[in-house]
């Protein structure tokens, strides 16, 4: 029997048994739907996380008092660590593999003011001119802070789009004075917009010279000192030397902190890779759970198919006998039932994939999650269901194939 005839006749049989076919594939539909929906959402999440991580400035190294990826932080221990100081930054700048550095401090201020208007929860950063390169800032108008501003502790600032929206909705901010922490500060430039990072706007920012920053903000104490302390952004000469640069910085910092070889680092060297590592650690768990869910639902779907195929074999015993009498070989019968099982599960897989993508789309419409369905998720969904069809269809099909034609013909 030709494959095409086999396909046509199997589909015919499934069509004439519509209701049962539908009930049979329900398990597969639900299983594949779940998998595809979760996959599409995880893919979407991966893509947007990656995009956000990239937006940090792809090769920038952050030298801080703590490491991002250290699973559980011992704050007591971290608080006892040596502070990162400006001299560390100048030492790092002299490393051969380092291109640019920018020491930097943050302070989240309650408000900025300009002519009765207020911008709330703006992140104030104090840094040096090369921050523009280490964090990938673009300038929309005006200029970035320069060395002169730093040397003279000038009260100047570069502002992000959020600040513009709130304080200067209708006018050009450059050349205007806003009030920050009670101090008149000249706006010298506007940053290009960066969007948000994990739901937090990256445009709610104002950057000023580090020297001016230290002049107006008190030195943080306690836990604040840990998180608001100096951090050093480092840009290696080339992305190729990222690892080497990290090693050099580590060696340098250990030397500066006088750590003996058996002591762990008392500082953190963070990169995009550390962020990715954190994200991977989280999603690996999610992935394992998902595979478990998928396996269980496909198992349930597969058992459903096997069950119905067994019923079908016993119901159609006479048909099997007749087919053998008119020339079907064992193999013909095996293929017929196996193909029915595969066709059922593939149809289930297609419907499940469609519904799963639909659900993912819906979820991404009503929530901040994104959905992405690369072609391989669809191939995977359909491939998986075909595999389920083969795996759970082979036993009933084999039972049908092994029936003795006489016994089958006599069967009532």
Partner 1 sequence: MLIHTEDITKIYKIGSYVVEALGGVTIDIDKGEYVAITGPSGSGKSTLMHLLGCLDTPTSGKYFLSGTDVTSLTDLELSQLRNKKIGFVFQTFNLLPRITVTKNVELPLLYAGITAKERQKKIESILERVGLGHRKTHRPNELSGGEMQRVAVARALINDPEVVFADEPTGNLDSKTGKEIMSLFNDLAREGNTIILVTHDATVANYAKRQLKMLDGKITEEVLVKTS
Q: Which is nearer to partner 1, 277 or 329 (CB)?
A: 329
Is residue 327 within the footprint of partner 1 (CB under 8 A)?
yes
Among 7, 12, 165, 223, binds partner 1 (CB under 8 A): 12
- Choosing from 215, 318, 367, 379, the residue that interacts with partner 1 (CB under 8 A) is 318
158 within 8 A of 144, measured Cβ to Cβ: yes
One of 118, 200, 281, 329 touching partner 1 (CB under 8 A): 329
Question: Which of 113, 136, 108, 137 shows the shortest CA–CA distance to 123?
Answer: 108
Does 11 sit near partner 1 (CB under 8 A)? no
203 binds partner 1 (CB under 8 A): no
CB 209 within 8 A of CB 131: no
Residue 19 lies near partner 1 (rule: CB under 8 A) = no
Please say which residue, 45 or 409, places its beta carbon nearer to partner 1. 409
Smallest distance from partner 1 to CB 326, Å: 5
Q: How far is the CB of 312 from partner 1 (least distance, A)?
A: 12
SS3 221: coil
Burial of 138 (0-12, 13-18, 19+ CB in 10 A): exposed
211 burial via Cβ count (<10 Å: 0-12, 13-18, 19+): middle
Stretch that binds partner 1, among 206-214, 275-283, 314-322, 378-386 (CB under 8 A): 314-322
On whether the CB atoms of residues 134 and 102 are closer than 8 A, the answer is yes
Q: Does residue 314 interact with partner 1 by CB under 8 A?
A: no
The minimum distance between CB 401 and partner 1, in angstroms, equals 9
Tokens of 266: 């008392």
Q: Are 95 and 249 in contact (CB under 8 A)?
A: yes
Phi, psi for 221 (deg, rounded to 5): -125, 170
DSSP three-state, residue 241: helix
Per-residue contact string for residues 52-91; x = within reach of partner 1 by CB under 8 A: ----------------------------------------
78 neighbors 226 (Cβ within 8 angstroms)? yes
Span interacting with partner 1, options 36-44, 54-62, 304-312, 313-321, rule CB under 8 A: 313-321
For partner 1, the closer of residues 12 and 367 by Cβ is 12
Q: What separation, in Å, do the N-terminal and C-terminal C-alpha atoms of the chain show? A: 27
Reported as type and span, the H/E element at residue 210 is: helix 210-216
Is 311 one of the binding residues for partner 1 (CB under 8 A)? no
β-bridge pairing 205-209 and 117-127? parallel
Based on the shown chain and the rule CB under 8 A, indicate whether residue 375 belongs to the binding site for partner 1: no
Smallest separation, CB 311 to partner 1 (Å): 16
> Which spans of this chain sit near partner 1 (rule: CB under 8 A)?
1-2, 5, 9, 12-13, 16-17, 318-319, 321-332, 404-406, 409
């Amino acid at each position: 029997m030709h494959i095409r005839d086999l396909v046509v006749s199997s589909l015919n049989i499934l069509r004439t048994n519509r209701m049962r076919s539908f009930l049979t594939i329900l398990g597969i539909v639900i299983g594949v739907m779940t998998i595809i929906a979760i996959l599409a959402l995880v893919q979407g999440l991966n893509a947007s996380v990656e995009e956000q991580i990239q937006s940090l400035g792809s090769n920038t190294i952050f030298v801080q008092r703590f490491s991002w990826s250290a699973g559980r932080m011992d704050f007591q221990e971290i608080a006892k660590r040596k502070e990162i100081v400006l001299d560390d930054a100048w030492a790092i700048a002299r490393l051969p593999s380092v291109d640019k550095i920018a020491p930097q401090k943050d302070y989240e201020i309650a408000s900025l003011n300009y002519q009765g208007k207020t911008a709330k929860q703006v992140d104030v950063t104090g840094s040096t001119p090369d921050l523009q390169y280490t964090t990938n800032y673009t300038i929309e108008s005006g200029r970035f802070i320069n060395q002169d501003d730093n040397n003279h502790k000038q009260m100047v600032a570069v502002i992000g789009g959020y600040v513009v929206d709130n304080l200067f909705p209708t006018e050009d901010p450059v050349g205007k004075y806003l009030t920050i922490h009670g101090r008149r500060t000249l706006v010298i430039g506007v940053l290009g917009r960066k969007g948000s990072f994990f739901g937090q706007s990256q445009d709610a920012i104002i950057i000023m010279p580090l020297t001016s920053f230290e002049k107006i903000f008190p030195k943080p104490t306690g836990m604040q000192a840990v998180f608001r302390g100096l951090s050093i952004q480092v840009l290696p000469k080339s992305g190729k030397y990222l690892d080497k640069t990290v090693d050099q910085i580590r060696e340098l910092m250990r030397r500066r902190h006088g750590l003996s070889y058996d002591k762990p680092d008392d500082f953190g060297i963070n990169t995009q890779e550390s962020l990715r590592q954190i994200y991977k650690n989280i999603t690996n768990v999610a992935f394992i759970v998902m595979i478990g869910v998928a396996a269980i639902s496909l198992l349930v779907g597969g058992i459903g198919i096997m069950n119905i195929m067994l019923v079908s074999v016993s119901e159609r015993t006479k048909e099997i006998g007749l087919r053998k009498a008119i020339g079907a070989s064992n193999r013909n019968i095996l293929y017929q039932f196996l193909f029915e099982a595969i066709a059922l599960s593939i149809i289930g897989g297609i419907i499940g994939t469609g519904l799963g993508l639909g659900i993912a789309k819906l979820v991404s419409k009503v929530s901040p999650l994104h959905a992405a369905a690369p072609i391989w998720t669809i191939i995977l969904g359909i491939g998986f269901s075909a595999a389920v069809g083969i795996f759970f269809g082979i036993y009933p099909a084999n039972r049908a194939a092994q029936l003795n034609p006489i016994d089958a013909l006599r069967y009532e």
